[in-house]
Amino acid sequence: MTTPITRQTFLTEARARLGDVHSLWPYTPKAFETPHGWMHYVDEGPATPSAASQPETIVCVHGNPTWSFMWRHVIARYAKHQRIIAVDHLGCGLSQRSITFPARLSDHAENLAALVRHLNLERITLVVHDWGGAIGLAAARRDPARYAKLVLTNTGAFPTRDMPWRIALCRAKWGLGPFLVERCNAFAGLLPWLGVADPRHMSPEVRAAYMMPTRDMAGRRAVRAFVEDIPMHAAHPTMPELRAVEQSLSYWRDKPVALAWGEQDWCFTPRFRQRFERELPQAFVVQGLHVGHLIPEEAPNLVHAAIDHVLGGREVATHEV
């Protein structure tokens, strides 16, 4: 029988895993206990929050195979005046990796929703990327009254028949997919090069930080689970949840919404942005014409412009598209 991990042990291990990344990620790890393990998150902002000083809470949700590190520019910009929560899904980042639950979209959404309830967050500005879009929106549909504003960055929230060959290869049968993802780290290991339009935009130190959670096999299991959880047929266990997320987009049609999109993304291509524009015609759109998948990394000023817009036009950044 496995001995349960205590909060203190989990946080001590999380700090140890950070290692040299601490200089780029100087935030205090926090722990939330889910039924399936400890979830890491950071909670930054004014020391004495109040309704007057913090009219909104920003909640940042990463996808696969990233972690909360990707939101460090957002935290640095907004934490002076706003409360900001950035999470690591179970199995990812600094969260507990020894997990046994199925780790499907609905599981991650339930964990995020539980954390939001635990912290009693209200008037949330939800900022999402990649599969974090589906997770964040799935959490929001469980407690819609808590959510007020939305920023979508290179993500999806509806079924699609489009699957890039790179991802399809990592889902290949007969053991090839697990071999590539877990043994070779072919998915997370290539992200710093394939996730940006120009790899020169990412320093060796930042590349190492993105790859920190997947330095060993234990950190790659969640990556594999995410890849295999993409529903490509009606019988897939995650398809009902993703359909429900798609239907929930109607909730956002009278809310402040912004899209910040890296137009050179080979995964969540401009076709995804166009679909969101049809679903949410009021959305403010910022396009990075020469930006890849990791827009929060490659062009954080564009993400900031989108957030500024939904927050009411405050501190709108000067930016190039």
Q: Is 113 helix (H, G, I), strand (E, B) or coil?
A: helix
Q: How large is the angle between the packed helices 105-119 and 132-142, nearest 10 degrees? A: 60
Sheet with 30-34, side-by-side order of all strands: 30-34, 37-44, 83-87, 57-61, 124-130, 147-155, 257-262, 284-288
Query: Which two three-digit tokens encode residue 195?
Result: 């996730």
Indicate the residue type of 124.
Answer: I
- What are the mean pLDDT values of the chain's consecutive 10-residue runs (321 residues total)? 80 92 94 95 80 73 96 96 96 88 90 97 97 97 98 93 54 50 60 86 92 85 80 85 97 97 94 96 97 96 97 54 45
Distances (CA, A) of 265 to 196, 239, 284: 8, 24, 19
pLDDT confidence of residue 73: 98
How far apart, in whole angstroms, are the C-alpha atoms of residue 312 and residue 111?
A: 30
Beta strands in 55-173 (DSSP E): 57-61, 83-87, 124-130, 147-155
Eight-state DSSP code of residue 237: T
Instruction: Give a three-class secondary structure readout of 165-212.
Output: HHHHHHCCCCCHHHHHHHHCCCCCCCHHHHCCCCHHHCCHHHHHHHHH
- From first CA to last CA, the distance across the chain in angstroms is 55
Cα R_g (the chain), whole angstroms:
18
Q: Is 34 helix (H, G, I), strand (E, B) or coil?
A: strand
pLDDT confidence of residue 176: 47
How far apart, in whole angstroms, are the C-alpha atoms of residue 12 and residue 38?
A: 12
pLDDT confidence of residue 164: 56
pLDDT confidence of residue 177: 47
Instruction: Report CA dihedral (168, 174, 179, 181) to the nearest 10 degrees.
Output: 30
Cβ atoms 82, 45 nearer than 8 A: yes
Cis ω before 65 (30° cut-off from 0): yes
pLDDT confidence of residue 41: 98
pLDDT confidence of residue 64: 92
Helix and strand numbers, DSSP H then E, in the chain: 13, 8
Indicate the residue type of 177.
Answer: G
pLDDT confidence of residue 184: 52
Q: Which domains does the chain have, with CATH numbers?
A: 7-310 (3.40.50.1820)
Q: Is 259 helix (H, G, I), strand (E, B) or coil?
A: strand
How far apart, in whole angstroms, are the C-alpha atoms of residue 238 and residue 243?
A: 9
